[in-house]
Structure 1
């Protein structure tokens, strides 16, 4: 009897991708058993296979409810860890293991098609609270099912109500019958050892769960949906966890687990049952409006130094009369402050605009109430933004922040983080110490308020290293911060 070849246990995070079927592709050997792993961001490339899980790039414009799940210490770009879906004003649907099994403070970034280029996002918010399905048994509970959670955010999400994701329930069982196919969307890796952070999509068939018993745990068809192929021609991978699996425009499952090499079936937490009913109850409804359009700001407050800027998202929602043209404006601005709407100050209700408030060097410090007005054929609506202008505080030299502030790599591996500089005089030069090979910065010199991408290489000796990052301005004043690198 042949001995089964086991795949190394690794926690992974899905990135839905599509690979054209190769002429040499064939079904996985029947004697190979894969050890199941969660699709979070902790997949390691050790022992990775040669198959590439490739996919098709997509955009937030195409899937306006998709949002990136971040955590302190996350392994993806900017700390990306999971993928999720906006399902309410402050509600997000994701996998339970993204909230319970993955450590580190959680937040969400919206509006970015590629997390490898910081600053493209429309919006970022923290987690206020979350609820996992009552049947989820805690860390490792994804093995038995019920891997779904509803997250409540601190701020209103900049997604119009008519673009919130629709969630399946027990009346939608036909959507997960074998023979159906759906789309999986996520920010995950393109292979078990490949890059991540780009939003991608792939088409996956729904399979009879009895044909998917190729893992060391059972695929429970009552609580799980088995999707994809046994030869891994296209699959979810590290970073896609919690992302949506969509059939006929409805989310019927969230990415839950699969093979640690991303080379076999992708298993989704099933929502076409009581789990979906539970999620719908937790998401809740919205109070009725007045039949007209609505306007909101997310976030509704922000800070800026004199001569700097701050941005917010202006979210509009169509009323019962349908979409209408809206003219946006901002009033009650502090002295020397300008307001710019992007891509335009004219939108259709249901669309989102970015509002940037830019102060001047002479804008007095203080707190101001800025009124944002949307005027349409059915009437006028307003929302209030609290702008706090703070003292520049450059006399003490530059200040640094690093995100994420820690990383884990194999010996000789690389990790990235974003360094943001505030304060200081003139140009600020970055340097680092604490490793055999000093960090590299791109760019190495930034202006106050700017950012740089830091790359660190792990030593070949395992252990924990403290990297000291120093910023020196043209006046010779310095500021420092620390980054923790773990090599294991």
Structure 2
């Protein structure tokens, strides 16, 4: 065994701070460089337990369904708990490379237990079929140089639906790890460098500039590592949290890698907002959350409303190759004072729902982009709606929006479409050209935000016909849209 001042990685627990009584200014000194933790789930700190590190906030697997416990024969935590990890696929797990390389003992995973100190509460156990560490993680202690990430394949499928798999960042997500952002770390690790472990905790920590984090006897490389937390250790990760996620805006941007042997300084994550994340996503394969296997759409996809009024649209869905799903509906990006009402709030794929956006007198004027989400068992899909809020004094003319805007039928066949008129002053009158027999409208005059249905008989001669639908408001302004009718 090498002397305790040697560098080693941390198999890191969530903790919160209790600060000691401040020393007089004359007695304060710059703390010496922190000793990095040894590469095992058992901490052997130099100098005993730090008074700075205590419990974090209790949480549950139910609240964090992608979290899973890494076990190993000889592991120092309850039931052999050694690391924390994230479920990222049907039989895929994301963790730290040092959780696989730097510690011995056969490894397995346990799912569904908030407190490992009571055996038998888990819902699932599986063995490791194989694993891959980043190709630049070259052996034990390579965590010092970065690339501390691994993807594990399990023998059995993990009972976590695709919609609840952890979403992994890549090089396109670099903004998520900019200094000043805030994220959450969670794990079953120790609540202090000499304390107990095995209970799931979480904590929120800021992302720091790496230049402010050079307080260790190992360099924090900003290209490969993310420094989070606080230099006084008021909250952070500890032994047993290694491999667990650091999540910003619902995306895993880092993997818990190493830190102070006393768990009383910053926490260092393996960075995923770069090629390391791209590598991990390539090894995971398949659809990450957000890639729902169904579709959703809004018709119309925009509307205009006065403050204090409301406008409605229709959400439609179609099943994908995974078959029927139940979809939960929600909306984000609503302007101040605006509510979204779904009727119903849950639909089956292939179903529809009415979506009503109701503003208040305080809702700011202008165009607002609202995101409507459908969440099912295969993931989530979104559609956007442009809500324009004004007081009716605009000089902009009306605009008809067709849904659908095309159809195919046989000679003499009958087709229908819905028309929503946005903008304009007062009611708008609908007309159409392009067919031998003029289409009919029900009704022919509609207010801004109102809807009508157009019915038309197809010509007897095959071909493609462009039907121009025009809305003319009471001020004489008009706008048009084209309906394409194919006759075969």
The TM-score, its normalising length taken from structure 1, stands at 0.57
Task: Show the counterpart of 1:51.
Answer: 52
Task: Show the counterpart of 1:30.
Answer: 30
Whichever of the two has the greater Rg, that structure is 2
Shift of the alpha carbon at 1:54?
2.0
Is the alpha carbon distance of 1:318 and 1:41 closer, same or farther for their aligned partners in structure 2, counting shifts above 3 Å? farther
Shift of the alpha carbon at 1:10?
5.9
Are 1:94 and 1:148, in contact at CA under 8 Å, matched by a contact in 2? yes
Shift of the alpha carbon at 1:31?
4.4
Q: Is 1:243 aligned to residue 216 of structure 2? A: no
Shift of the alpha carbon at 1:37?
2.3
Shift of the alpha carbon at 1:12?
3.5
Superposition pairs of residues 101-112 of structure 1, within 5 angstroms: 101-112=102-113
Superposition pairs of residues 76-155 of structure 1, within 5 angstroms: 76-155=77-156
Task: Show the counterpart of 2:226.
Answer: 225
CA offsets 1:310-363 (integer angstroms, 9 cap, x no match):
xxxxxxx9955526899xxxxxxxxxxxxxxxxxxxxx9849xxxxxxxxxxxx
Whole-angstrom distance in 2 between the partners of 1:18 and 1:196: 14
**What SS does the aligned partner of 2:85 have?**
strand
Shift of the alpha carbon at 1:119?
0.5
Is the alpha carbon distance of 1:225 and 1:237 closer, same or farther for their aligned partners in structure 2, counting shifts above 3 Å? same
Superposition pairs of residues 404-415 of structure 1, within 5 angstroms: none
Is the alpha carbon distance of 1:219 and 1:290 closer, same or farther for their aligned partners in structure 2, counting shifts above 3 Å? closer
Superposition pairs of residues 381-400 of structure 1, within 5 angstroms: none
Superposition pairs of residues 298-309 of structure 1, within 5 angstroms: none
Task: Show the counterpart of 1:261.
Answer: 262
**What SS does the aligned partner of 2:68 have?**
strand
Whole-angstrom distance in 2 between the partners of 1:65 and 1:128: 19
Task: Show the counterpart of 2:384.
Answer: none
Shift of the alpha carbon at 1:22?
6.3
Task: Show the counterpart of 1:174.
Answer: 175
Task: Show the counterpart of 1:165.
Answer: 166
CA offsets 1:132-172 (integer angstroms, 9 cap, x no match):
01111211100000000000000000101000000000010
Whole-angstrom distance in 2 between the partners of 1:318 and 1:23: 61
Whole-angstrom distance in 2 between the partners of 1:239 and 1:207: 23
Shift of the alpha carbon at 1:11?
5.2
Are 1:39 and 1:238, in contact at CA under 8 Å, matched by a contact in 2? no
RMSD: 2.9
CA offsets 1:384-419 (integer angstroms, 9 cap, x no match):
xxxxxxxxxxxxxxxxxxxxxxxxxxxxxxxxxxxx
Whole-angstrom distance in 2 between the partners of 1:231 and 1:168: 28
Task: Show the counterpart of 1:388.
Answer: none
Shift of the alpha carbon at 1:105?
0.4
Shift of the alpha carbon at 1:36?
1.6
Shift of the alpha carbon at 1:251?
0.3
**What SS does the aligned partner of 1:204 have?**
strand
Whole-angstrom distance in 1 between the partners of 2:45 and 2:107: 24
Whole-angstrom distance in 1 between the partners of 2:240 and 2:174: 27
Is the alpha carbon distance of 1:18 and 1:67 closer, same or farther for their aligned partners in structure 2, counting shifts above 3 Å? same
Shift of the alpha carbon at 1:47?
2.2
Task: Show the counterpart of 2:338.
Answer: none
Is the alpha carbon distance of 1:184 and 1:16 closer, same or farther for their aligned partners in structure 2, counting shifts above 3 Å? same
Are 1:7 and 1:33, in contact at CA under 8 Å, matched by a contact in 2? no
Are 1:38 and 1:142, in contact at CA under 8 Å, matched by a contact in 2? no
Task: Show the counterpart of 1:322.
Answer: 327
Shift of the alpha carbon at 1:35?
2.0
Shift of the alpha carbon at 1:228?
0.6
**What SS does the aligned partner of 2:276 have?**
helix
Shift of the alpha carbon at 1:230?
0.7
**What SS does the aligned partner of 2:279 have?**
helix
Are 1:14 and 1:82, in contact at CA under 8 Å, matched by a contact in 2? yes
Unaligned runs of 5+ in 1: 1-5, 293-316, 327-347, 352-488
Whole-angstrom distance in 2 between the partners of 1:60 and 1:226: 26
Task: Show the counterpart of 1:17.
Answer: 15
Whole-angstrom distance in 1 between the partners of 2:109 and 2:72: 8
Q: Tell me how many residue pairs correspond in the alignment.
A: 301
Shift of the alpha carbon at 1:235?
1.2
The TM-score, its normalising length taken from structure 2, stands at 0.57
Task: Show the counterpart of 1:442.
Answer: none
Are 1:7 and 1:260, in contact at CA under 8 Å, matched by a contact in 2? no
Whole-angstrom distance in 2 between the partners of 1:194 and 1:226: 23
Whole-angstrom distance in 1 between the partners of 2:107 and 2:324: 33
Whole-angstrom distance in 2 between the partners of 1:214 and 1:243: 23
